Amino acid sequence: MQQVLGNQLLLQQKKVGNGGHVLATEISPQMLSIAKQRAISLGMQNIVEFIEGDAETIDLPTSTFNAELCRFGLMFLPDLKTGLSNLYRSLVHAEDYTSFVHGTAAPVRAILANETLERREEILKVVSQSVKKYADNSIGTVKLSNEAICIVGRK
């Protein structure tokens, strides 16, 4: 799911596809009305949800969105830190962790290389869901405990 601020929603249809979901938020009711009309005219009404509100105060569900986009809105926020913190809470950080591991760990890529695209996505989704219990979304980290045993020998 992607949350989109302002008029960026129309650019996201290709990314989420017909089975995806886009939440479009806008502080201006007039702009929101125009965006709704455009979405309908482009046949996007089934993947786009519209909510009026601003980034500082809008009540968004925690750890829900894979991405957030904003073209011109952030520069108008009276309290940028509050607005960004509010938006940050709604992001799915475990997805970031999974993408990082998949992109940087050669053994993981090798294991998944022989799987179909659908199966890889299914596996990565399960990993993302499983790692959520180790995520500290307030600071954007995933903490996993482990143990390393080092052995040194001499002849």
Q: Give 44-92 pLDDT, tens digit per residue.
A: 888 888 899 888 899 988 878 877 777 777 788 888 888 888 888 888 7
Give the pLDDT score at 52: 92
Give the pLDDT score at 68: 77
Confidence band of 137 (pLDDT split at 50, 70, 90): low
Confidence band of 40 (pLDDT split at 50, 70, 90): confident
Give the pLDDT score at 41: 84
Q: Where are the alpha helices (DSSP H) in 9-113?
A: 13-16, 29-41, 80-89, 93-104, 106-113
Dihedral-angle region of residue 93 (phi above 0 means left; psi in -120 to 50 means alpha; beta otherwise): alpha
Confidence band of 93 (pLDDT split at 50, 70, 90): low
Query: Domain 2-89 has what CATH class?
Result: alpha beta
The residue type at 95: E
Residues of the chain with CATH 3.40.50.150: 2-89
Give the pLDDT score at 9: 62
Give the pLDDT score at 134: 80
Dihedral pair phi/psi, residue 3, rounded to 5°: -100, 130
If one compares 5 and 21, the residue with the highest pLDDT of the two is 21
The mean per-residue pLDDT over the stretch 108-136 comes to 84
Instruction: Please give the order of strands across the beta sheet that includes 48-52.
Output: 48-52, 22-26, 2-5, 67-69
Dihedral pair phi/psi, residue 65, rounded to 5°: -100, 140
